[in-house]
Amino acid sequence: MIKNLLFDLGGVIMDIEKERCVASFQCLGLPDAASYFGDYSQKGPFMLLEEGVITADDFHRTLREAIGGQVTDSQIDDAFCDFLIGIPAERLAQLRELRKKYNIYLLSNTNSIMWHSKIKDEFKKEGREREDYFDGMVTSFEAKSMKPDERIFGYAVETLGIKPEETIFLDDSQRNLDAAGRLGFKTLLVSPGEEFYALLTAEGL
């Protein structure tokens, strides 16, 4: 019996576009900005921030050194958050509806800068807080590991108090789903252009 729905954030709940972020960092003067960003994970200081290995202050200092110019923390943060487009209101409404039947959880590769700014603000569209949509949340920077590393799934199981066999994990990366599947999670791929609630309905959920 499925009791829990475990959601990825970017590409599933929140729309993202890495090209906007790359363009913004190029405008700030970051050399070879595109090399830092992959489809499902980042590289260099961006990855270290998502893993919780470095702090936001460390990240700002490293980026300033790489850019070699006078840029502020706010300029760096704004460029980084351009990765995020936003959350359509219908998805927020669907999360609230699903929560009437299931425990709803979040498992996201993200970083402290986005988490405490743009992501937090997007969940306020209905006059609610982020915590009003989920029974529990796990982020990579707090877990000190990133999907598809199996350690973050183990961290989620322990922290959220869920059983993999009672949980469907929804993600836009097959690699992440494969890692979860090896640990006993049920999985559902959310491809570009698909809506998680339509896929769940098709599964009879």
Q: Which amino acid would we find at residue 144? A: K
Q: Using an 8 Å Cβ cutoff, are 161 and 105 in contact?
A: no
Category of 192 on φ-ψ map: left (φ > 0), alpha (ψ -120 to 50) or beta: beta
Q: Which amino acid is it at 89?
A: A
73 is catalytic: no
Q: Can you tell me the distance from the alpha carbon of 18 to that of 39, in angstroms, rounded to the nearest whole number?
A: 8
**Is the preceding omega at residue 148 within 30 degrees of 0, hence cis?**
yes
CB-based contact 114:84 (threshold 8 Å): yes
The catalytic position among 8, 82, 171, 172 is: 8
Name the residues annotated as catalytic: 8
